Amino acid sequence: QSVLAGLYSSEGSVMERHHLAQSMCILNTDGSNLFENLSSKEYQTVLDLMRQIILATDLAHHLGIVKEQEQLAERGHFEKTSSRDKTLLLCLLMTACDLSDQTKNWHNTKHSAALIYQEFFSQGDLEKALGKKPLEMMDREKACVPDLQISFLDNIAFPVYRILAKMFPEAETPLKNVEDNRKHWVHIGQLLKLRHGNSTQTMTVEQIISIEEEELPDCSRGQIIDLKS
């Protein structure tokens, strides 16, 4: 069990509770409390809100309220006096921020993905060394990065940004970026199957993600070539 798990796992949301604890440490550092001029009541309200929206970045929590967020967007109006509407909106915005690496241009998105899977696979290697069976997405011998990314976009990212775009038309831009990035992952998956079949065990994350540029230089400029043509 990791140090963080030992500290926070009793209530779940280990990383999110760590983030909350670190936020509180910052507020308690001299010169860092931007809320110091609030009244005691206001300060407590802010702390409660911080706790609520930071814990909302736990995807397990998000999946528990996403249906309500969809209903809020479908309703077409926001009740300013409704504490529940406010909570749902704040949690949605926080999750959208948390997943924002999926809305960047392809160059930045694939770089973020490389870092994430390096972390996942390092954890998987450690779990194997301890005699444990890692999740498939953390097992470098079993994980199919493009498929995992497409699944994540379809089941997590797309619903978030579709809801956001329905409530705020300006959010169509990040939604479009997610759609464009998904096309790249589909394309990478196609190239991997053509070149390597189902075996990518000897490839690094960087090699998998950069296969577009190696095979088809135009892809480095964000162009996707139809393999059927």
Task: Return d(Cα 219, Cα 214) in angstroms, integer.
Answer: 9
Residues 2, 145: Cα–Cα separation, whole Å: 26
pLDDT tens-digit map of 99-117: 999 999 999 999 999 999 9
What is the pTM (predicted TM-score) of this model?
0.81
Domain 103-229 matching CATH 1.20.120.530: the answer reads: no
Pairwise CA distance, residues 126 & 2, whole Å: 11
Residues 176 and 197: beta-carbon distance below 8 Å: no
Helix axes 40-55, 83-98, angle to 10 degrees: 50
Q: 98: annotated binding-site residue?
A: yes
Look at residue 225 in the predicted model and tell me its pLDDT. Answer: 43
Yes or no: say if 26 and 64 are a contact pair by the CB < 8 Å rule.
Answer: no
Chain segment 106-146, per-residue pLDDT in tens: 999 999 999 999 999 999 999 999 999 999 999 998 999 99
Domain ranges across the chain: 103-229
Task: Considering only residues 50 and 180, tell me which one the structure prediction assigns the higher pLDDT.
Answer: 180
